[in-house]
Amino acid sequence: MGELKAAASAIDLNARPGQWMTGYGGRVDPAIGTHDPLTARAVMLDSGGTRLVVVACDLLGFEPAFVKRLRRQLKRKVGLPESALLVACTHTHSGAASMPMRGQMGNLDNDWLQMVQRRLFNLVCSLSERLEPAQLAWGSTTVPGVGFNRQDRSHGVDAELVALTVERRDGSSIATLVNYATHAVVLGPQNLLFSGDFPGAVARRIDDLTGGVGLYLQGACGDVDPVTQLEKGWGRGTFDDCEEIGKRLAEAAVSCLAGRSRTASAFVNSALGMATIPLDEPPPLAEIDRLIRQFKSEQVEASVGSEPDRIKAQTAGAMLQWARSLRARMVRGTVPRELSIEIYAARINDLRIVGLPFETYTDIGLGIKCEVRSKCGPETPVMFVGYANGLYGYCPTTWAKEQGGYGADVSCRWFSALVTPIGRGADGILVREATALACGL
C-alpha cells in the first residue's frame, strides 16, 4: 500500500468530415460531420511509484499492434511498464475507422490514425506531470433494461454496473470510471455524424455531474444490443435515446458511489498474460470456390441497372475479399488453427480489472467475474473490459457456437485478423486464464 496520487484528462480525437466511419457493413457513405466529439479519456494512478493508466477511446477498436507500439513509446519516454497501460475502446459504431477491416469499414485515414497515436502518447505523458494526492472508492449496482441478448433471448445479460471514483483529498472529482456491457449501436448505419453513441453520453454526463473526467469502459457485450433495437427497430435509435441511456447509467454510477468510504492508500498492480485459443477449421475448398462465385455474382448483379444496390454490392465485395484471402491461405497450407492473444489484468486495492481483445460474449465476462470472486472473495469488485488493448473479432460461448449465427460463425469475414471464426472451447480457456492472472496480482 502506498499514498495514492492521480491525474486525468480528455482530448478530442479530431475526426474530420469525409473520413469513413466503421461498424456497419451497410454504411455506404463517409461522415458528413460531428454530432458529439470522439474523445480519448485517460486516468493515471500512482501508488508509491507503481503506476496504472487507463485510456478509453470513442472508437470501434484498435488492432493489437497499435497498442503495442504505443506501449513501447511510453516505456522509452517515461518508463511506463507495458503492463501498466490499458487502452480500451467503447466500440461506438459511429466512430472513425480505426483498424484494418474488410470492405469499406477498413477505409482508414492513416495520417489521422498516426495523429491519434501521437495524441494518445502525449495525453499519457502529460498525466505523469500532473499527479496530485488522491483518494478512491468503488461501488456497484444493477441497471436492468438497457440491453438484451441478441444471440438468444433466453440467455441473460450482465446488468451489473461497476464504478470507481478517483478524487482529490477535498472530495472534488478527478475521474470516474463506469463499466457496463451493451453494444454501442443505438445509432444505426443511416447516421453519418461522428458520435460516441450512448457511451459518449455516459462520459459527458459524468463530467457534468462530478466536474471530473468520465470514462466509459465497455463490458462483455458481444451478444448484447440496446433495447432500442426492440422498441424502435434495428438501427432506428436517436441521439436523444443515447442521451437518455447515458443519463441513466451515469446517475446510477454516481448514486452507487455516494456514501462509500474513501481511502487515500492504494495498492496498484498490473500484469499481461497470454492464452492460446482454437480457431475453426476452414470449409472444403470446393465450398470456398462456390462462395467466391456467389459473391462475384452478387456484386455484379447489385452494381448494374438504373438503381444499383450499393449496400449489397459493397457487402458482396467485402465477402469476396474474405473468401479469396481464405482460399489463398488454404492453397498455401497456412490457415491458422489457433490464435495467441493477450490477457490484461490490473488490481486497485480489492478491485480487479480484466481485459480481453474481443467482442466477448456475456457468459465469458460473467464467468470471469464468478471465478475471480470464488477465489478472491465473494465481495471482490470486478470490471470486465472488452475491446481491451486491441480487437480481433467476436469471441462467442460454446452454446453460441452450437447455435451458429453472425457472431459465432460469419463475423470473422469482416475482421482482417481472422479468416476462420474463434472455435469451440475458447470461452473456457479465457475464463480460466484470465481468472488466474487477475487472482495472482
- For 196-225, what is the mean pLDDT? 98
Q: Are 4 and 47 in contact (CB under 8 A)?
A: yes
- For 389-410, what is the mean pLDDT? 97
146 closest CA partner among 68, 62, 224, 201: 224
- Are residues 53 and 179 located together in one domain of the fold? yes
- Are residues 181 and 80 located together in one domain of the fold? yes
Establish if 234 belongs to a structural domain. yes
User: pLDDT at position 141, please?
Assistant: 98
Band (pLDDT 50/70/90 cuts) for residue 426 is very high
Whether pLDDT at 206 is above 90:
yes
Distances (CA, A) of 91 to 24, 116, 182, 360: 12, 16, 10, 12
Range of the domain at 318: 282-336
User: pLDDT at position 389, please?
Assistant: 98
- Are residues 366 and 330 located together in one domain of the fold? no
User: pLDDT at position 172, please?
Assistant: 98
Establish if 277 belongs to a structural domain. no
- For 242-247, what is the mean pLDDT? 98
Establish if 207 belongs to a structural domain. yes
Whether pLDDT at 95 is above 90:
yes
Establish if 263 belongs to a structural domain. yes
When the pLDDT of each residue in the chain is averaged and rounded to a whole number, the result is 97
Domain boundary among 291, 317, 336: 336
162 closest CA partner among 217, 237, 96: 217
Establish if 307 belongs to a structural domain. yes
Band (pLDDT 50/70/90 cuts) for residue 304 is confident
d(C-alpha 358, C-alpha 185), whole Å: 17
Look at the chain and report how many structural domains it folds into: 2
Number of residues that make up the chain: 441
Establish if 215 belongs to a structural domain. yes
User: pLDDT at position 325, please?
Assistant: 97
Whether pLDDT at 409 is above 90:
yes
End-to-end CA distance of the chain: 13
Band (pLDDT 50/70/90 cuts) for residue 307 is confident
- Are residues 327 and 247 located together in one domain of the fold? no
d(C-alpha 283, C-alpha 376), whole Å: 43
- Are residues 294 and 351 located together in one domain of the fold? no
User: pLDDT at position 1, please?
Assistant: 87
Element (H, E) at 250: helix 239-257
**What's the pLDDT tens digit per position in 313-358?**
999 999 999 999 999 999 999 999 999 999 999 999 999 999 999 9
**What's the pLDDT tens digit per position in 103-141?**
999 999 999 999 999 999 999 999 999 999 999 999 999
User: pLDDT at position 305, please?
Assistant: 78
What is the grid cell recorded at 383? Answer: 470490471
User: pLDDT at position 70, please?
Assistant: 98
- Are residues 156 and 298 located together in one domain of the fold? no
pTM score, whole prediction: 0.97
**What's the pLDDT tens digit per position in 10-63?**
999 999 999 999 999 989 999 999 999 999 999 999 999 899 999 999 999 999
- Are residues 239 and 310 located together in one domain of the fold? no
Whether pLDDT at 360 is above 90:
yes
d(C-alpha 78, C-alpha 423), whole Å: 39
- Are residues 90 and 201 located together in one domain of the fold? yes
Query: Which one-letter amino acid corresponds to residue 82?
Result: E
Strand ranges inside 160-267, DSSP E: 160-168, 173-180, 193-194, 213-218, 224-226, 265-266
Query: What is the Cβ-side half-sphere exposure of residue 153, based on CA atoms within 13 angstroms?
Result: 5
- Are residues 140 and 57 located together in one domain of the fold? yes
Whether pLDDT at 303 is above 90:
no
Cβ-proximal residues to 243 (8 Å cutoff; 6+ apart), any chain: 201
- Are residues 227 and 320 located together in one domain of the fold? no
- For 165-170, what is the mean pLDDT? 98
d(C-alpha 95, C-alpha 206), whole Å: 20
Cβ-proximal residues to 376 (8 Å cutoff; 6+ apart), any chain: 350, 352, 438, 439
Establish if 204 belongs to a structural domain. yes
- Are residues 225 and 310 located together in one domain of the fold? no
- Are residues 330 and 352 located together in one domain of the fold? no
User: pLDDT at position 359, please?
Assistant: 98
